[in-house]
Structure 1
Protein backbone atom coordinates (compact mmCIF):
# COMPACT_ATOMS: atom_id res chain seq x y z
CA UNK A 1 0.00 0.00 0.00
CA UNK A 2 1.21 3.53 -0.80
CA UNK A 3 1.65 6.17 1.87
CA UNK A 4 -1.16 8.14 0.20
CA UNK A 5 -3.45 5.13 0.58
CA UNK A 6 -2.48 4.74 4.24
CA UNK A 7 -3.26 8.41 4.88
CA UNK A 8 -6.58 8.06 3.05
CA UNK A 9 -7.56 5.04 5.16
CA UNK A 10 -6.76 6.99 8.33
CA UNK A 11 -9.02 9.85 7.20
CA UNK A 12 -11.73 7.41 6.14
CA UNK A 13 -11.68 5.89 9.62
CA UNK A 14 -11.69 9.35 11.23
CA UNK A 15 -14.86 10.16 9.29
CA UNK A 16 -16.48 6.98 10.55
CA UNK A 17 -15.48 7.31 14.20
CA UNK A 18 -15.35 11.13 14.48
CA UNK A 19 -11.91 10.75 16.05
CA UNK A 20 -9.40 13.08 14.36
CA UNK A 21 -5.89 12.07 13.38
CA UNK A 22 -2.64 13.96 13.97
CA UNK A 23 -1.53 16.23 11.13
CA UNK A 24 0.28 14.23 8.45
CA UNK A 25 2.73 17.11 8.15
CA UNK A 26 3.85 16.59 11.76
CA UNK A 27 5.39 13.28 10.73
CA UNK A 28 6.52 14.53 7.32
CA UNK A 29 6.85 18.33 7.03
CA UNK A 30 7.89 17.96 3.39
CA UNK A 31 4.39 16.93 2.31
CA UNK A 32 2.82 19.47 -0.04
CA UNK A 33 -0.16 19.99 -2.33
CA UNK A 34 0.84 17.22 -4.74
CA UNK A 35 0.88 14.62 -1.98
CA UNK A 36 -2.35 16.07 -0.62
CA UNK A 37 -4.17 15.56 -3.90
CA UNK A 38 -2.80 12.01 -4.14
CA UNK A 39 -4.31 11.26 -0.73
CA UNK A 40 -7.55 13.05 -1.66
CA UNK A 41 -7.95 10.84 -4.73
CA UNK A 42 -7.41 7.70 -2.64
CA UNK A 43 -9.89 8.87 -0.01
CA UNK A 44 -12.48 9.69 -2.65
CA UNK A 45 -12.19 6.16 -4.04
CA UNK A 46 -12.97 4.77 -0.58
CA UNK A 47 -15.99 7.06 -0.18
CA UNK A 48 -17.33 6.21 -3.64
CA UNK A 49 -16.94 2.51 -2.80
CA UNK A 50 -19.17 3.22 0.22
CA UNK A 51 -21.87 4.31 -2.24
CA UNK A 52 -21.38 8.07 -2.24
CA UNK A 53 -21.47 10.28 -5.35
CA UNK A 54 -19.65 13.43 -6.49
CA UNK A 55 -22.09 16.27 -7.25
CA UNK A 56 -19.57 19.07 -7.76
CA UNK A 57 -16.63 20.78 -6.10
CA UNK A 58 -15.76 23.23 -3.37
CA UNK A 59 -12.94 25.72 -3.74
CA UNK A 60 -11.24 26.82 -0.55
CA UNK A 61 -8.64 29.38 0.47
CA UNK A 62 -10.03 31.88 -2.02
CA UNK A 63 -9.35 34.83 0.26
CA UNK A 64 -5.89 36.35 0.51
CA UNK A 65 -5.78 36.16 4.36
CA UNK A 66 -6.61 32.43 4.30
CA UNK A 67 -3.85 31.71 1.79
CA UNK A 68 -1.37 33.79 3.76
CA UNK A 69 -2.22 31.82 6.90
CA UNK A 70 -1.17 28.57 5.21
CA UNK A 71 1.73 30.14 3.34
CA UNK A 72 0.43 29.38 -0.15
CA UNK A 73 -0.40 31.50 -3.20
CA UNK A 74 -3.38 29.69 -4.73
CA UNK A 75 -6.70 28.13 -3.61
CA UNK A 76 -7.38 24.42 -3.15
CA UNK A 77 -10.32 22.25 -4.11
CA UNK A 78 -12.16 19.09 -3.13
CA UNK A 79 -15.21 17.12 -4.24
CA UNK A 80 -18.73 17.70 -2.93
CA UNK A 81 -20.52 14.51 -1.94
CA UNK A 82 -24.22 13.74 -2.30
CA UNK A 83 -24.38 12.41 1.27
CA UNK A 84 -23.40 15.81 2.66
CA UNK A 85 -26.12 18.00 1.11
CA UNK A 86 -28.71 19.84 3.21
CA UNK A 87 -31.53 22.21 2.25
CA UNK A 88 -32.73 25.58 3.44
CA UNK A 89 -34.37 25.18 6.86
CA UNK A 90 -32.72 21.85 7.67
CA UNK A 91 -31.18 20.98 11.03
CA UNK A 92 -27.50 20.09 11.18
CA UNK A 93 -26.62 17.35 13.70
CA UNK A 94 -23.37 18.13 15.51
CA UNK A 95 -22.83 14.41 16.10
CA UNK A 96 -22.06 14.05 12.40
CA UNK A 97 -19.00 16.31 12.63
CA UNK A 98 -15.80 16.76 14.63
CA UNK A 99 -15.11 20.52 14.79
CA UNK A 100 -17.57 22.16 12.36
CA UNK A 101 -17.63 25.80 11.29
CA UNK A 102 -20.00 27.63 8.96
CA UNK A 103 -19.08 29.69 5.90
CA UNK A 104 -21.48 31.64 3.68
CA UNK A 105 -20.57 31.27 0.00
CA UNK A 106 -21.87 31.90 -3.50
CA UNK A 107 -22.77 28.71 -5.36
CA UNK A 108 -22.61 28.34 -9.15
CA UNK A 109 -24.26 25.54 -11.12
CA UNK A 110 -22.91 24.48 -14.50
CA UNK A 111 -25.18 24.50 -17.52
CA UNK A 112 -22.56 23.30 -19.99
CA UNK A 113 -19.20 21.46 -19.78
CA UNK A 114 -16.14 23.43 -18.77
CA UNK A 115 -12.66 21.99 -19.15
CA UNK A 116 -9.23 23.57 -19.09
CA UNK A 117 -6.53 24.43 -19.59
CA UNK A 118 -6.87 28.02 -20.67
CA UNK A 119 -10.42 28.67 -19.45
CA UNK A 120 -11.08 32.42 -19.21
CA UNK A 121 -13.44 34.18 -16.83
CA UNK A 122 -15.74 34.95 -19.75
CA UNK A 123 -15.83 31.29 -20.79
CA UNK A 124 -16.58 30.33 -17.21
CA UNK A 125 -19.41 32.86 -17.11
CA UNK A 126 -20.95 31.38 -20.25
CA UNK A 127 -20.94 27.91 -18.68
CA UNK A 128 -22.96 28.95 -15.58
CA UNK A 129 -26.66 28.17 -15.65
CA UNK A 130 -27.61 29.60 -12.24
CA UNK A 131 -26.38 31.20 -9.05
CA UNK A 132 -27.62 30.34 -5.55
CA UNK A 133 -27.02 31.38 -1.97
CA UNK A 134 -24.94 28.74 -0.23
CA UNK A 135 -23.23 27.76 2.97
CA UNK A 136 -20.49 25.26 3.60
CA UNK A 137 -19.91 23.47 6.87
CA UNK A 138 -16.16 23.02 6.99
CA UNK A 139 -14.86 20.30 9.26
CA UNK A 140 -11.45 18.80 9.88
CA UNK A 141 -10.51 15.19 10.49
CA UNK A 142 -7.12 16.61 11.51
CA UNK A 143 -6.66 17.24 15.25
CA UNK A 144 -7.54 20.76 16.44
CA UNK A 145 -7.56 22.18 12.90
CA UNK A 146 -3.72 22.09 12.96
CA UNK A 147 -3.59 21.96 9.19
CA UNK A 148 -1.01 22.76 6.58
CA UNK A 149 -1.86 22.66 2.91
CA UNK A 150 -1.14 18.91 2.51
CA UNK A 151 -3.40 18.11 5.48
CA UNK A 152 -6.43 20.05 4.34
CA UNK A 153 -6.14 18.98 0.68
CA UNK A 154 -5.89 15.34 1.77
CA UNK A 155 -9.06 15.81 3.84
CA UNK A 156 -11.21 16.78 0.83
CA UNK A 157 -10.26 20.42 1.42
CA UNK A 158 -11.81 20.21 4.89
CA UNK A 159 -15.37 20.01 3.63
CA UNK A 160 -18.07 18.62 5.92
CA UNK A 161 -21.45 19.50 4.42
CA UNK A 162 -23.16 22.07 2.21
CA UNK A 163 -26.55 23.68 1.70
CA UNK A 164 -27.88 25.86 -1.10
CA UNK A 165 -31.00 27.95 -1.34
CA UNK A 166 -34.12 26.89 -3.24
CA UNK A 167 -33.96 30.15 -5.21
CA UNK A 168 -31.93 30.02 -8.43
CA UNK A 169 -30.94 33.23 -10.24
CA UNK A 170 -29.58 33.44 -13.80
CA UNK A 171 -26.07 34.88 -13.96
CA UNK A 172 -26.94 37.15 -16.84
CA UNK A 173 -27.41 40.75 -15.78
CA UNK A 174 -25.46 40.93 -12.53
CA UNK A 175 -21.99 40.55 -11.09
CA UNK A 176 -21.49 37.99 -8.30
CA UNK A 177 -18.39 39.88 -7.17
CA UNK A 178 -20.67 42.75 -6.08
CA UNK A 179 -23.10 40.57 -4.12
CA UNK A 180 -23.24 41.54 -0.44
CA UNK A 181 -23.90 39.02 2.33
CA UNK A 182 -24.97 39.32 5.98
CA UNK A 183 -24.61 36.31 8.29
CA UNK A 184 -26.73 36.22 11.46
CA UNK A 185 -26.71 33.82 14.41
CA UNK A 186 -29.85 33.70 16.52
CA UNK A 187 -30.97 36.99 15.00
CA UNK A 188 -27.72 38.85 15.68
CA UNK A 189 -25.34 39.85 12.87
CA UNK A 190 -22.03 38.04 13.31
CA UNK A 191 -20.28 38.85 10.03
CA UNK A 192 -20.67 40.35 6.58
CA UNK A 193 -19.00 39.75 3.25
CA UNK A 194 -19.01 40.45 -0.46
CA UNK A 195 -18.57 38.23 -3.49
CA UNK A 196 -15.22 39.81 -4.34
CA UNK A 197 -13.75 38.16 -1.23
CA UNK A 198 -13.60 34.97 -3.31
CA UNK A 199 -10.52 35.49 -5.50
CA UNK A 200 -11.87 38.88 -6.59
CA UNK A 201 -14.82 37.29 -8.42
CA UNK A 202 -16.65 33.97 -7.84
CA UNK A 203 -16.67 33.42 -11.61
CA UNK A 204 -12.87 33.70 -11.59
CA UNK A 205 -12.92 30.95 -8.95
CA UNK A 206 -14.82 28.75 -11.40
CA UNK A 207 -12.27 29.42 -14.15
CA UNK A 208 -9.42 28.64 -11.74
CA UNK A 209 -11.09 25.35 -10.78
CA UNK A 210 -11.58 24.25 -14.39
CA UNK A 211 -7.93 24.97 -15.15
CA UNK A 212 -6.74 23.24 -12.00
CA UNK A 213 -8.77 20.08 -12.68
CA UNK A 214 -7.31 19.94 -16.18
CA UNK A 215 -3.98 18.98 -14.67
CA UNK A 216 -5.44 15.57 -13.83
CA UNK A 217 -7.47 15.29 -17.03
CA UNK A 218 -10.79 16.20 -15.42
CA UNK A 219 -13.43 18.79 -16.28
CA UNK A 220 -16.69 20.16 -14.95
CA UNK A 221 -19.96 18.70 -16.17
CA UNK A 222 -23.47 20.18 -16.65
CA UNK A 223 -25.46 20.08 -13.44
CA UNK A 224 -22.45 20.11 -11.15
CA UNK A 225 -22.38 22.60 -8.30
CA UNK A 226 -19.36 24.69 -7.34
CA UNK A 227 -19.03 26.47 -4.00
CA UNK A 228 -16.70 29.39 -4.62
CA UNK A 229 -15.22 30.13 -1.19
CA UNK A 230 -15.98 31.79 2.11
CA UNK A 231 -16.98 35.45 2.16
CA UNK A 232 -16.02 35.87 5.85
CA UNK A 233 -14.14 34.22 8.71
CA UNK A 234 -15.53 30.73 9.54
CA UNK A 235 -17.70 30.59 12.66
CA UNK A 236 -17.94 27.59 14.99
CA UNK A 237 -21.30 25.86 15.44
CA UNK A 238 -23.03 25.21 18.76
CA UNK A 239 -26.21 23.30 19.52
CA UNK A 240 -29.22 25.61 19.50
CA UNK A 241 -27.75 28.03 16.97
CA UNK A 242 -29.86 29.25 14.06
CA UNK A 243 -27.80 30.72 11.22
CA UNK A 244 -29.22 32.82 8.39
CA UNK A 245 -27.16 34.01 5.45
CA UNK A 246 -28.80 36.82 3.48
CA UNK A 247 -27.46 37.67 0.01
CA UNK A 248 -28.23 40.52 -2.38
CA UNK A 249 -30.27 39.22 -5.32
CA UNK A 250 -29.93 35.60 -4.21
CA UNK A 251 -32.20 35.60 -1.15
CA UNK A 252 -31.50 33.89 2.15
CA UNK A 253 -30.64 30.49 3.56
CA UNK A 254 -31.25 29.26 7.13
CA UNK A 255 -29.78 26.28 8.99
CA UNK A 256 -30.43 25.12 12.53
CA UNK A 257 -27.94 23.30 14.73
CA UNK A 258 -28.69 20.47 17.18
CA UNK A 259 -26.65 17.86 19.01
CA UNK A 260 -28.40 15.13 17.06
CA UNK A 261 -31.35 14.69 14.71
Structure 2
Protein backbone atom coordinates (compact mmCIF):
# COMPACT_ATOMS: atom_id res chain seq x y z
CA UNK A 1 0.00 0.00 0.00
CA UNK A 2 1.35 3.42 -1.00
CA UNK A 3 2.41 5.64 1.89
CA UNK A 4 0.69 8.48 0.03
CA UNK A 5 -2.64 6.66 0.17
CA UNK A 6 -2.19 5.90 3.88
CA UNK A 7 -1.37 9.56 4.53
CA UNK A 8 -4.40 10.69 2.52
CA UNK A 9 -6.71 8.45 4.54
CA UNK A 10 -5.21 9.65 7.82
CA UNK A 11 -5.56 13.29 6.75
CA UNK A 12 -9.23 12.78 5.89
CA UNK A 13 -9.96 11.30 9.31
CA UNK A 14 -8.01 14.00 11.15
CA UNK A 15 -9.83 16.75 9.26
CA UNK A 16 -13.21 15.21 10.13
CA UNK A 17 -12.22 15.09 13.78
CA UNK A 18 -10.93 18.67 13.81
CA UNK A 19 -13.88 20.21 11.96
CA UNK A 20 -16.66 18.07 13.42
CA UNK A 21 -17.86 17.21 9.93
CA UNK A 22 -18.03 13.54 9.03
CA UNK A 23 -16.10 12.48 5.94
CA UNK A 24 -16.49 10.11 3.03
CA UNK A 25 -15.24 6.56 3.62
CA UNK A 26 -11.49 6.01 3.44
CA UNK A 27 -11.84 2.66 1.68
CA UNK A 28 -11.39 4.53 -1.60
CA UNK A 29 -7.73 4.82 -0.54
CA UNK A 30 -7.36 1.46 1.21
CA UNK A 31 -9.75 -0.96 -0.45
CA UNK A 32 -12.25 -2.96 1.56
CA UNK A 33 -10.07 -5.77 2.93
CA UNK A 34 -6.51 -4.53 3.52
CA UNK A 35 -6.31 -4.64 7.31
CA UNK A 36 -2.56 -3.97 7.37
CA UNK A 37 -3.12 -0.69 5.51
CA UNK A 38 -6.03 0.21 7.80
CA UNK A 39 -3.94 -0.34 10.92
CA UNK A 40 -1.17 1.74 9.36
CA UNK A 41 -3.64 4.62 9.04
CA UNK A 42 -4.73 4.07 12.63
CA UNK A 43 -1.11 4.27 13.82
CA UNK A 44 -0.60 7.50 11.91
CA UNK A 45 -3.74 9.11 13.35
CA UNK A 46 -2.90 8.02 16.91
CA UNK A 47 0.75 9.02 16.48
CA UNK A 48 -0.32 12.54 15.55
CA UNK A 49 -2.52 12.80 18.65
CA UNK A 50 0.27 11.51 20.88
CA UNK A 51 2.63 13.99 19.26
CA UNK A 52 0.17 16.73 20.18
CA UNK A 53 0.24 15.69 23.84
CA UNK A 54 -2.22 12.80 24.28
CA UNK A 55 -1.14 9.71 26.23
CA UNK A 56 -1.92 6.06 25.44
CA UNK A 57 -3.76 4.44 28.37
CA UNK A 58 -5.00 1.18 26.88
CA UNK A 59 -6.95 -0.39 24.06
CA UNK A 60 -10.45 -1.34 23.00
CA UNK A 61 -11.72 -4.44 21.24
CA UNK A 62 -14.40 -4.23 18.58
CA UNK A 63 -16.30 -6.63 16.33
CA UNK A 64 -16.70 -9.18 19.11
CA UNK A 65 -20.30 -10.11 18.28
CA UNK A 66 -20.80 -12.72 15.52
CA UNK A 67 -23.66 -10.73 13.97
CA UNK A 68 -21.41 -7.68 13.61
CA UNK A 69 -18.55 -9.79 12.19
CA UNK A 70 -20.96 -11.12 9.57
CA UNK A 71 -21.99 -7.57 8.72
CA UNK A 72 -18.37 -6.67 7.90
CA UNK A 73 -17.50 -10.03 6.35
CA UNK A 74 -14.66 -10.69 8.82
CA UNK A 75 -14.39 -13.35 11.45
CA UNK A 76 -12.01 -11.89 13.99
CA UNK A 77 -12.21 -8.85 16.25
CA UNK A 78 -10.43 -5.57 15.64
CA UNK A 79 -8.86 -3.09 18.06
CA UNK A 80 -8.32 0.59 18.67
CA UNK A 81 -6.17 2.62 21.03
CA UNK A 82 -7.45 4.45 24.11
CA UNK A 83 -5.99 7.87 24.91
CA UNK A 84 -6.19 9.79 28.16
CA UNK A 85 -8.41 12.49 26.66
CA UNK A 86 -11.07 9.86 25.86
CA UNK A 87 -11.47 8.78 29.49
CA UNK A 88 -14.15 9.94 31.95
CA UNK A 89 -15.24 8.78 35.40
CA UNK A 90 -18.60 7.77 36.85
CA UNK A 91 -20.96 10.75 36.84
CA UNK A 92 -18.43 13.07 35.21
CA UNK A 93 -19.88 15.33 32.51
CA UNK A 94 -19.13 14.23 28.96
CA UNK A 95 -19.61 17.04 26.40
CA UNK A 96 -22.09 16.05 23.70
CA UNK A 97 -20.41 18.44 21.28
CA UNK A 98 -17.21 16.37 21.13
CA UNK A 99 -18.97 13.68 19.08
CA UNK A 100 -20.19 13.44 15.50
CA UNK A 101 -22.51 10.41 15.49
CA UNK A 102 -22.27 8.82 18.94
CA UNK A 103 -23.69 5.51 20.12
CA UNK A 104 -23.49 3.89 23.56
CA UNK A 105 -22.42 0.36 24.46
CA UNK A 106 -22.21 -1.48 27.78
CA UNK A 107 -18.90 -3.24 28.41
CA UNK A 108 -16.54 -4.70 31.02
CA UNK A 109 -13.21 -2.91 31.38
CA UNK A 110 -10.14 -4.90 32.48
CA UNK A 111 -7.38 -3.01 34.29
CA UNK A 112 -4.07 -4.85 34.19
CA UNK A 113 -1.79 -5.23 37.19
CA UNK A 114 1.11 -6.74 35.25
CA UNK A 115 2.42 -6.92 31.70
CA UNK A 116 1.21 -9.61 29.30
CA UNK A 117 4.29 -9.95 27.16
CA UNK A 118 4.30 -13.63 26.25
CA UNK A 119 3.28 -14.93 22.83
CA UNK A 120 0.20 -17.11 22.84
CA UNK A 121 -1.13 -15.79 26.15
CA UNK A 122 -3.74 -18.02 27.79
CA UNK A 123 -7.00 -17.12 29.47
CA UNK A 124 -5.41 -18.08 32.80
CA UNK A 125 -2.49 -15.70 32.19
CA UNK A 126 -4.87 -12.87 31.31
CA UNK A 127 -6.89 -13.44 34.48
CA UNK A 128 -3.70 -13.51 36.60
CA UNK A 129 -2.58 -10.25 34.99
CA UNK A 130 -5.93 -8.52 35.61
CA UNK A 131 -5.91 -6.40 38.75
CA UNK A 132 -9.63 -5.58 38.64
CA UNK A 133 -12.60 -5.05 36.36
CA UNK A 134 -14.97 -2.09 36.10
CA UNK A 135 -18.29 -1.40 34.41
CA UNK A 136 -17.77 0.84 31.39
CA UNK A 137 -19.95 2.74 28.96
CA UNK A 138 -18.16 3.08 25.66
CA UNK A 139 -19.33 5.96 23.49
CA UNK A 140 -18.44 4.80 20.01
CA UNK A 141 -18.28 7.38 17.25
CA UNK A 142 -17.39 7.48 13.58
CA UNK A 143 -15.65 10.09 11.50
CA UNK A 144 -17.23 8.37 8.46
CA UNK A 145 -20.53 9.91 7.38
CA UNK A 146 -23.69 7.91 8.18
CA UNK A 147 -21.66 5.02 9.61
CA UNK A 148 -21.06 3.87 6.03
CA UNK A 149 -18.33 1.43 6.99
CA UNK A 150 -16.34 -1.50 5.80
CA UNK A 151 -13.76 -3.18 8.02
CA UNK A 152 -10.97 -0.96 6.68
CA UNK A 153 -12.97 2.20 7.42
CA UNK A 154 -13.59 1.32 11.07
CA UNK A 155 -10.06 0.02 11.74
CA UNK A 156 -8.47 3.12 10.19
CA UNK A 157 -10.80 5.27 12.29
CA UNK A 158 -9.36 3.76 15.49
CA UNK A 159 -12.11 1.14 15.65
CA UNK A 160 -14.74 3.91 15.74
CA UNK A 161 -13.58 5.15 19.14
CA UNK A 162 -15.14 8.12 20.89
CA UNK A 163 -14.95 8.11 24.68
CA UNK A 164 -15.14 5.81 27.71
CA UNK A 165 -16.86 6.29 31.06
CA UNK A 166 -15.48 4.02 33.78
CA UNK A 167 -17.07 2.97 37.04
CA UNK A 168 -15.38 3.94 40.29
CA UNK A 169 -15.50 0.71 42.32
CA UNK A 170 -12.98 -1.97 41.32
CA UNK A 171 -13.98 -5.64 41.50
CA UNK A 172 -11.48 -8.49 41.45
CA UNK A 173 -12.22 -11.01 38.68
CA UNK A 174 -11.68 -13.94 41.04
CA UNK A 175 -14.84 -16.00 41.18
CA UNK A 176 -16.75 -13.97 38.58
CA UNK A 177 -18.38 -15.89 35.73
CA UNK A 178 -17.87 -13.17 33.16
CA UNK A 179 -19.61 -15.14 30.41
CA UNK A 180 -22.81 -15.09 32.48
CA UNK A 181 -22.58 -11.48 33.60
CA UNK A 182 -25.88 -9.82 32.74
CA UNK A 183 -26.08 -6.26 31.43
CA UNK A 184 -28.77 -3.59 31.32
CA UNK A 185 -28.12 -0.19 29.76
CA UNK A 186 -30.64 2.55 30.59
CA UNK A 187 -31.14 5.94 28.99
CA UNK A 188 -32.68 8.46 31.39
CA UNK A 189 -34.13 5.60 33.43
CA UNK A 190 -35.54 3.58 30.52
CA UNK A 191 -33.89 0.25 29.61
CA UNK A 192 -32.63 0.43 26.03
CA UNK A 193 -30.14 -2.44 25.70
CA UNK A 194 -29.78 -5.87 27.29
CA UNK A 195 -27.02 -8.43 27.01
CA UNK A 196 -24.55 -10.73 28.72
CA UNK A 197 -20.89 -11.61 28.68
CA UNK A 198 -21.29 -14.58 26.36
CA UNK A 199 -22.13 -12.14 23.52
CA UNK A 200 -18.49 -11.01 23.59
CA UNK A 201 -16.59 -13.89 21.88
CA UNK A 202 -18.15 -16.27 24.39
CA UNK A 203 -16.64 -14.38 27.33
CA UNK A 204 -14.97 -10.97 27.77
CA UNK A 205 -11.80 -12.65 29.03
CA UNK A 206 -11.56 -14.57 25.75
CA UNK A 207 -11.69 -11.23 23.92
CA UNK A 208 -8.90 -9.79 26.07
CA UNK A 209 -6.84 -12.92 25.49
CA UNK A 210 -7.20 -12.41 21.73
CA UNK A 211 -5.99 -8.82 22.15
CA UNK A 212 -3.02 -9.85 24.31
CA UNK A 213 -1.90 -12.32 21.64
CA UNK A 214 -2.40 -9.80 18.85
CA UNK A 215 -0.44 -7.07 20.63
CA UNK A 216 2.40 -9.46 21.52
CA UNK A 217 2.53 -10.60 17.89
CA UNK A 218 2.90 -6.98 16.83
CA UNK A 219 5.70 -6.35 19.32
CA UNK A 220 3.70 -3.99 21.52
CA UNK A 221 2.54 -6.11 24.49
CA UNK A 222 -0.12 -4.99 26.91
CA UNK A 223 1.36 -3.32 29.98
CA UNK A 224 0.54 -3.00 33.66
CA UNK A 225 -1.94 -0.17 34.17
CA UNK A 226 -3.54 -0.55 30.73
CA UNK A 227 -7.32 -0.22 30.55
CA UNK A 228 -8.80 -2.76 28.13
CA UNK A 229 -12.38 -2.46 26.88
CA UNK A 230 -13.37 -6.05 26.14
CA UNK A 231 -16.27 -5.46 23.74
CA UNK A 232 -20.01 -4.83 23.76
CA UNK A 233 -22.29 -7.11 25.78
CA UNK A 234 -25.42 -5.99 23.93
CA UNK A 235 -26.68 -3.83 21.08
CA UNK A 236 -25.35 -0.29 20.71
CA UNK A 237 -27.79 2.57 21.23
CA UNK A 238 -27.76 5.85 19.25
CA UNK A 239 -27.15 8.99 21.32
CA UNK A 240 -29.33 11.61 19.66
CA UNK A 241 -29.38 14.16 22.49
CA UNK A 242 -27.78 14.80 25.88
CA UNK A 243 -28.87 12.49 28.66
CA UNK A 244 -27.70 9.96 31.25
CA UNK A 245 -26.83 6.39 30.36
CA UNK A 246 -26.65 4.03 33.34
CA UNK A 247 -25.00 0.65 32.90
CA UNK A 248 -25.74 -2.13 35.39
CA UNK A 249 -23.58 -5.26 35.38
CA UNK A 250 -24.47 -8.25 37.57
CA UNK A 251 -21.82 -8.81 40.23
CA UNK A 252 -19.70 -5.86 39.05
CA UNK A 253 -21.74 -2.72 39.68
CA UNK A 254 -22.94 0.27 37.74
CA UNK A 255 -21.70 3.43 36.09
CA UNK A 256 -23.38 6.61 34.87
CA UNK A 257 -22.36 8.32 31.64
CA UNK A 258 -23.71 11.87 31.94
CA UNK A 259 -23.76 13.51 28.53
CA UNK A 260 -24.48 17.22 28.54
CA UNK A 261 -24.27 20.18 26.22
CA UNK A 262 -20.92 21.91 26.34
CA UNK A 263 -17.62 22.34 24.61
CA UNK A 264 -15.10 19.47 24.51
TM range (shorter): over 0.9
TM-score by structure 2 length? 0.95
SS of 1:42's partner is helix
Say whether the 8 Å CA contact 1:124–1:207 is kept in structure 2. Answer: yes
SS of 1:89's partner is coil
Residue 95 of structure 2 corresponds to residue 93 of structure 1: yes
Deviation per residue, 1:10-59 (Å, 9 max, x gap): 21121111112111224553552111101111111111011001000000
Alignment of 1:57-206 (within 5 A): 57-206=59-208
Deviation per residue, 1:204-240 (Å, 9 max, x gap): 1111001111232110000100000011111111324
- CA–CA distance in structure 2, aligned partners of residues 171 and 120 of structure 1: 15
Say whether the 8 Å CA contact 2:30–2:38 is kept in structure 1. Answer: no
Say whether the 8 Å CA contact 2:30–2:152 is kept in structure 1. Answer: no
Long gaps (5+) in structure 2: none
Say whether the 8 Å CA contact 2:195–2:235 is kept in structure 1. Answer: no
Partner of 2:249: 247
TM-score by structure 1 length? 0.96
- CA–CA distance in structure 2, aligned partners of residues 23 and 46 of structure 1: 20
Say whether the 8 Å CA contact 1:238–1:258 is kept in structure 2. Answer: no
- CA–CA distance in structure 2, aligned partners of residues 220 and 27 of structure 1: 30
**How much does 1:249 deviate?**
1.4
Aligned Cα root-mean-square deviation (Å): 1.4
Long gaps (5+) in structure 1: none
Count how many residue pairs are aligned between Structure 1 and Structure 2.
261
**How much does 1:96 deviate?**
0.5
Say whether the 8 Å CA contact 1:134–1:164 is kept in structure 2. Answer: yes
